[in-house]
Amino acid sequence: MQTGSAFSVKEPVVLHAQNVHKQFGETIILNGVSLEVHKGDLVSVIGPSGCGKSTFLRCLNFLEIPDRGRITAAGVTIDRQGGPWRRADEHMAHRLRTHVGMVFQSFNLFPHLTVLDNVLLAPRIVKRQTDTVKRDQAMALLEKVGLGRVAGRYPLSLSGGQQQRAAIARALAMNPDIMLYDEPTSALDPLVAEEVLNVMRQLDAEGMTQIVVTHDMRFARVASDTIVYMDGGHIIEAGPPDVMCVRPTDERTRRFLGALL
Residue numbers of the site for Mg ion (CB under 5 A)?
A: 54
CA separation for the pair 138, 133 (Å, rounded): 6
Q: How far is the CB of 216 from ligand ATP (least distance, A)?
A: 12
Residue 214 found at the interface with ligand ATP (CB under 6 A): no
CB of 72 to ligand ATP, least distance (A): 21
Closest distance between ligand ATP and the C-beta of residue 12, in Å? 28
Per-residue H/E/C for the chain: CCCCCCCCCCCCEEEEEEEEEEEECCEEEEEEEEEEEECCCEEEEECCCCCCHHHHHHHHCCCCCCCEEEEEECCEEEEEECCCCCHHHHHHHHHHHCCEEEECCCCCCCCCCCHHHHHHHHHHHHCCCCCCCCHHHHHHHHHHCCCHHHCCCCHHHCCHHHHHHHHHHHHHCCCCCEEEEECCCCCCCHHHHHHHHHHHHHHHHCCCEEEEECCCHHHHHHHCCEEEEEECCEEEEEECHHHHHHCCCCHHHHHHHHHHC
Among ligand ATP, Mg ion, none, residue 130 binds (CB under 5-8 Å by kind) = none
Indicate which of ligand ATP, Mg ion, none lies near residue 24 (CB less than 5 to 8 Å, by partner kind). ligand ATP
Q: Is residue 49 close enough to count as binding ligand ATP by CB under 6 A?
A: yes
Residue 119: CB minimum distance to ligand ATP, A: 27
Report if residue 50 touches ligand ATP, rule: CB under 6 A.
yes
Q: Which is nearer to ligand ATP, 150 or 193 (CB)?
A: 193
Residue 101 as a binder of ligand ATP (CB under 6 A): the answer is no
Q: Which does 151 bind (CB under 5 to 8 A by kind): ligand ATP, Mg ion, none?
A: none
Q: Is the Cβ of residue 54 or residue 185 nearer to Mg ion in the bound state?
A: 54
Q: Does 51 bind ligand ATP (CB under 6 A)?
A: yes
Q: Which stretch binds ligand ATP (CB under 6 A): 53-61, 141-149, 220-228, 250-258?
A: 53-61
Residue 55 interacting with ligand ATP (CB under 6 A):
yes
Residue 67: CB minimum distance to ligand ATP, A:
13
Query: Is 29 among the residues that bind ligand ATP (CB under 6 A)?
Result: yes
Q: Considering the rule CB under 6 A, would residue 85 count as an interface residue with ligand ATP?
A: no
Which of Mg ion, ligand ATP, none has residue 4 at its interface (CB below 5 to 8 Å by kind)? none
Which residues make beta-bridge pairs with 72? 16, 77
CB 85 → ligand ATP: shortest distance, Å? 15
| Residues ≥6 apart with Cβ < 8 Å to 14 | 37, 38, 39, 73, 74, 177, 178, 209
Q: Can you give the binding site for ligand ATP, defined by CB under 6 A?
A: 24, 29, 47, 49-55
